[in-house]
Amino acid sequence: MANFTPYSQANTSADRAYGCCFLGIIVAVFAAAWYALKYAFRAAFWLMKYVFIAMYYAFAAPFLLFEILWRQGGLWRPVLVVSAGLMFLVALVLVLTAPSRPAKPAVVTTATVPAPPTAVATESPVPATPTATESAVPTATETRTPRATPVAIVDAPSPTSIPPEEPTATVATAVAPEPPSGDERVAAFVSSVTDGDTVRLNYEGTVQSIRMIGVDTPETRDPRKPVQCYGAEASRFTKEILLKQNVTISFDETQGIRDKYDRLLVYIWLPDGRLFNQLLISEGYAFEYTYNDPYTYQAEFIAAENDARTAQRGLWAPTSCNGVASPVTPTP
């Protein structure tokens, strides 16, 4: 009978041979990669050596040339001194005459709001006044003293809004004051409301905290003071009118750009042309407030406060604060 190798034994031998070949290929690949990296790093370090040498001589060449010529003496020394002085003057002139960074142009819209005739609105229902329960978050505020100087009331009654307690028989519509000539307004977006007279705006690509000029609402967020009467209503009114709205703002050169807390001092104009600062006062959500210097719309704001007091709107109502921003009495 002829000798033969069983199939299973032959198959096992072939597998072993293939395994050895595969292992050899892997070892060869890793060895080749190792030597390639080794010589690549050697070449890189060798090249970097000469690169650094070239950089050194490129930097030091002027100084070496200066030293060689200086050692020559004679006419070379005054020539080198004059050349160095001229190079210094040229560098100084280039630095002094370099153009400064251009100021970012502001998007300016100018609008003149004509004074419409006085209109009388109909009686509006009054929602119940909620309890002031806003949380106390530290907010830097100025020391404010409400002013109530009697001034003749102009024909600029306040607009209809949400009074706090009982309905008022008639509520007049506020007339936005005429903007002065050259009044520049800049587009902005109200991103959040801090309290009745302080909001945060997206303005020229940044988020800025702003303080409304000529306005003082009762406190709700100052940890140094208790929540004052009608503060929560003022904050809610500002949120209802301004939050997530596109508005325009303008500055007042008599008040400066920022206060001591780095807040922008502005007037806020609604899309329909009304001045929100005045609207807060005329609806009885704020007092007129003059900080040091009189501002452009002071007379209109004082007239709006007198009108709100006479009509007993908002915080001037006998059933709310009666014109006094006193602390809220907690309910037992």
Q: How far apart are CA 39 and CA 51, in angstroms?
A: 18
74 and 165 both lie in a single domain: no
75 and 36 both lie in a single domain: yes
Mean pLDDT rounded to a whole number for the chain: 76
Q: How far apart are CA 293 and CA 283, in angstroms?
A: 24
Q: How far apart are CA 309 and CA 325, in angstroms?
A: 14
133 and 244 both lie in a single domain: yes
150 and 259 both lie in a single domain: yes
Which one of 185, 221, 236, 263 is the catalytic residue?
263
Task: Please confirm, yes or no, whether 184 is among the known catalytic residues.
Answer: no
Last residue of a domain, one of 93, 121, 148: 93
**323 in a domain, yes or no?**
no
161 and 289 both lie in a single domain: yes
Which residue range(s) make up the domain with 82? 21-93
Q: How far apart are CA 30 and CA 19, in angstroms?
A: 17
Which one of 185, 211, 236, 274 is the catalytic residue?
211
**12 in a domain, yes or no?**
no
Confidence of residue 224 (pLDDT cuts 50, 70, 90): low
Task: Please confirm, yes or no, whether 263 is among the known catalytic residues.
Answer: yes
Task: Please confirm, yes or no, whether 288 is among the known catalytic residues.
Answer: no
47 and 180 both lie in a single domain: no
| pLDDT, tens digit (0-9, with 9 covering 90-100), for 280-329 | 999 999 999 998 899 999 999 999 999 999 999 999 999 887 666 555 54
**53 in a domain, yes or no?**
yes
- What is the pTM for the complete model shown? 0.46
54 and 191 both lie in a single domain: no
Q: How many domains does the chain have?
A: 2
220 pLDDT higher than 90: no
Confidence of residue 5 (pLDDT cuts 50, 70, 90): low
**248 in a domain, yes or no?**
yes
211 and 128 both lie in a single domain: yes
217 and 301 both lie in a single domain: yes
268 and 154 both lie in a single domain: yes
In one letter, which amino acid is 293? D
What number is the average pLDDT over the span 102-123?
A: 48
Domain with residue 271: its CATH number is: 2.40.50.90
